[in-house]
Structures are given as structure tokens and as C-alpha cells.
Chains A and B, each alone.
Chain A
Amino acid sequence: MDYTKIIDKLPYTEPFLFVDELLSVSEESIVGTYIFSTDLYFYKGHFKNNPITPGVILTECMAQIGLVCFGIYLLRDEISLEKINVALSSTEIDFHCPVFPGEKVAVISEKIYFRFNKLKCKVKMVNSKDEIVAKGTISGMIVNKDLI
């Protein structure tokens, strides 16, 4: 499956799309990247005069690449991808260093299991110096909308 097709199937758009490019994907893992451009809307408020990417946005980026892009790939033969629906069910993330405006990050996600539409993954985010920014586990339900 073409990587750009996976991104096209994502149910997100600006200003809440946090995936630029997928570098690899297999049955077991996925790697993708995102650049936090300096003009993103939340830098104005987080924090006052001191822009740092919020942890919830880092988590969102990890989930969009590590869970949703991955899930679209894993379900490529099974469901009508026009109707993909996702629901985050749990996250447990440790944050190790800040991500400033303009930084590029890579998200690496490894499947723990994907059963009965629940995808659970070990996910980490690294910066351009290959330092671990955040790591943990994320799980969610990835289903055809018709089933809900």
C-alpha cells in the first residue's frame, strides 16, 4: 500500500493533522515523521512568550502515526477505508525532553497486538538528534464506521 494513500485516508485535516510522511510500514511496525511548524496555532498560548509543543499534541502526533496510520495499513484488505473510524482508548506516555517550534520528529510504533479491532502499540518519538522525546503505550479501537 502506497504510503501517501495511508495519509490520504486519515480522518484528520489542518489544523489537527500531525503526520507529514511515512518512512516504513509493515505488519509489525511503522515509522513516520512530522515537522512542528513555527506558526502552529497553539504556540501562541503554550506557553505565554515561551512556545513549547504541548504534551497532548505530542501524544496526538504519536497516536496519528503510531496507531491510526498503522491501523489503516493493517486493515487495508478488510474494510472500506472510506469509513474508517478511530477511538483512542488509552495512553500511557512518559515525556523526556521538550519539542520546540520548527523541530522535526520521528514516531516509531511497534505492534503489541491487534485483535478484535483493538490496536495496542509501543510508541516512541525521537527528535532530529535521535534523542527520545516521549515513549509509552497507546491503544485504540479502529473500525469500519458501519459497525458502530
Chain B
Amino acid sequence: MNSEEIFALLEPIIITYLPDDVSANEINRESDLTRELNINSAHLVDIILDIEDVFNIEFKNEDMEKLRNVDDAILLIQQKTSASQ
């Protein structure tokens, strides 16, 4: 899967957990999930669990440390989906 395809699947997951005062238009590849999109730590976990289901992969604690913006998520998903093929 290329990064565009991953983003297309990832964006609706992020939108689900976006606070009311943040518009879906604000999501781009560089968006910082917690600082810019205002996603709290509990919802960040929800996003990871949804990503695991959609992409059939598994995140570890150390992956969370690498996860800051949307591109970080895409990179992690790419690494994990290619490793599982």
C-alpha cells in the first residue's frame, strides 16, 4: 500500500476521534495528532486500536513513542504491513 492509500483509510479513523472544535479539514500529513488536532491520550489509544483492526497489524509500546503526526502513523503502518506480507 502506498502512503496515499494508507492516508485514505487513516483519515476517517482520525475524524472519528477529533474533538468538536477541530475541523476535519485541518487533517494533513504533517498534523501533530495531540498538539494540533487536540486528540487526547485516551483517544490516541482508540485510534491505534482502530488502525490495528483496519490494517490487521499490531502496535507495541515503543511504536507509540514514534507516533507524533499523521506521517509517523503512515510510516509505522507501511513498515508493519510490508513486514507481515
Contacts and interface: CB of A to CB of B under 8 A. Distances in A.
Interface stretch (A9-17, A18-26, A99-107, A113-121): A113-121
B64 interface: yes
A90 B42 contact: yes
Contacts of A115: 45, 48-49
Interface residues of A, number: 11
B48 A116 contact: yes
B42 A141 contact: yes
A116 B61 contact: yes
Interface string B35-59: 0000011111110110000000001
A139 interface: yes
Contacts of B42: 87, 89-90, 118, 139-141
Contacts of B40: 89
22 contacts: A87-B42, A89-B40, A89-B41, A89-B42, A89-B43, A113-B49, A115-B45, A115-B48, A115-B49, A116-B44, A116-B45, A116-B48, A116-B59, A116-B61, A116-B64, A117-B41, A118-B41, A118-B42, A118-B46, A139-B42, A141-B41, A141-B42
